[in-house]
Amino acid sequence: MSVFVLRRVLTLLATLVGASVIIFLVLDALPGNAAQMLMGADASADAVRALTVKLGLDQPLAVRYLQWIKGLLVGDLGNSYVYGTPVASLIAERLVLTIPLAIMSMLITVVLALSAGIYTAANHNKLGDVGVMSLTQIGIALPNFWFAILLVLLFAVRLQWLSAGGFAGWDDGIWPGIKSLLLPSISLAVVQAAILARVTRSAVLEVLREDFVRTARAKGLGRREVLWSHVLRNAMIPVMTVMGLQFANLLAGTIVIENVFYLPGLGRLIFQSIANRDLIVVRNCVMLLAAMVVIVNFVVDVLYAFIDPRIKVHDL
């Protein structure tokens, strides 16, 4: 077990370093001069040079990269080119929205997907199975931002139960905040749940065909008991893999969905920073998102080994 975890930790670190190099190269090496981009094409050469020195962009690439990494490790991400405020606090402000949004969406995804997946597998080839599976086929095809717009049309424009966008914050208690994240998280969750439901269904069906299921039934356990106590645990491995991968899509999805609902989260911060040419903010936000994706997938991998001790043998 410890060898497996150690190996995975090393891969994790290598992946994080690789991702940081790519992000740095794409965002800081390609455009040539961030100062020029900030000041526009008609800025005087002297002014551009002064800003370049002020932002520390005259240092060699490797030095700037190491400075960035050193900063990342101690939580000092530098100052925004545009606002002059620390990037870390800009990001922290936005995470208060994006993290609850991601968690809510994942919860809704899991509840929807597992109930649909288990229901359809238990009712294999019956009318309910066919119906729910057709629904998931449509769910997969829906662009999540369009589904979000449809939800706004129904709940904000037509029924006027919820507001069409904006974030109430957490100052007046938890409920107003959750209420303003409700539509965004549902629209993120439905498409993901459609995929996960299909994965759950085939995983459960696969396990149902195993010998130990027949044995459990033969020793007198009811269908329901077998399903809940024997089948589900074994079906969770593929389901968790997909959940880990979906988390990446979910984070990317928040960028789009935050824009639909005008939510001041990390996604909108990235978006505004691109418009403002604030590359230092973009770089740190993208790194944060990439790191979250990689770390979640690492956690999933390690969790497998606990759920199913056979995994580490395969992987070594």
Partner 1 sequence: MSAQLSTPDDAPVATRFLPARTFWGRALRHRSFVLGGALSLLVVASALLSLVWTPWPPAEIDIASKLQPPSAAHWLGTDSFGRDIVSLLLAGARSTILVGIIAVSIGLSFGVCLGLIASAKRGWTEEIIMRFSDFTFAFPAVLSAIMLAAVAGPGMVTSIIAIGIFQIPTLTRLTRGSANAIWAREFVLAARASGKGAFRITVEHVLPNILSILIVQATIQFALAILAEAALSYLGLGTQPPQPSWGRMLNDAQTLLFQSPTLAVYPGAAIAIAVLGLNLLGDGLRDLLDPRLARER
Site of interaction with partner 1 (CB under 8 A):
11, 14-15, 18-19, 22-23, 26-27, 30-31, 125, 137-138, 140-147, 149-150, 152-153, 156-157, 164, 201-202, 205-206, 245, 248-249, 251-253, 255-256, 259-260, 270-271, 273-274, 277, 279, 282, 286, 289-291, 293-294, 297
| Closer residue to partner 1 in complex, CB, 182/205 | 205
Minimum CB distance to partner 1, residue 113 (Å): 16
| Closer residue to partner 1 in complex, CB, 170/271 | 271
Q: Which two tokens stand for residue 307?
A: 């759920």
Q: What's the 3-state SS for the chain?
A: CHHHHHHHHHHHHHHHHHHHHHHHHHHHHCCCCHHHHHHCCCCCHHHHHHHHHHCCCCCCHHHHHHHHHHHHHHCCCCECCCCCCEHHHHHHHHHHHHHHHHHHHHHHHHHHHHHHHHHHHHCCCCHHHHHHHHHHHHHHHCCHHHHHHHHHHHHHHHCCCCCCCCCCCCCCCHHHHHHHHHHHHHHHHHHHHHHHHHHHHHHHHHHHCCHHHHHHHHCCCCHHHHHHHHHHHHHHHHHHHHHHHHHHHHHHHHHHHHHHCCCCCHHHHHHHHHHHCCHHHHHHHHHHHHHHHHHHHHHHHHHHHHHCCHHHHHHC
Please enumerate in sequence order all residues whose Cβ is within 8 A of that of 142, keeping only pairs 6 or more positions apart, or say none. Answer: 190, 191, 194
| Closer residue to partner 1 in complex, CB, 26/92 | 26
Minimum CB distance to partner 1, residue 37 (Å): 9
| Closer residue to partner 1 in complex, CB, 112/251 | 251
| Closer residue to partner 1 in complex, CB, 113/293 | 293
Residue pair 281/87 in contact by the 8 Å Cβ criterion: yes
Please enumerate in sequence order all residues whose Cβ is within 8 A of that of 242, keeping only pairs 6 or more positions apart, or say none. Answer: 195, 196, 199
| Closer residue to partner 1 in complex, CB, 127/218 | 127
Minimum CB distance to partner 1, residue 170 (Å): 27
| Closer residue to partner 1 in complex, CB, 149/221 | 149
Minimum CB distance to partner 1, residue 260 (Å): 7
Minimum CB distance to partner 1, residue 22 (Å): 8
| Closer residue to partner 1 in complex, CB, 97/266 | 266
Minimum CB distance to partner 1, residue 231 (Å): 14
Minimum CB distance to partner 1, residue 90 (Å): 16
Minimum CB distance to partner 1, residue 123 (Å): 13
Q: Which two tokens stand for residue 144?
A: 């999540």
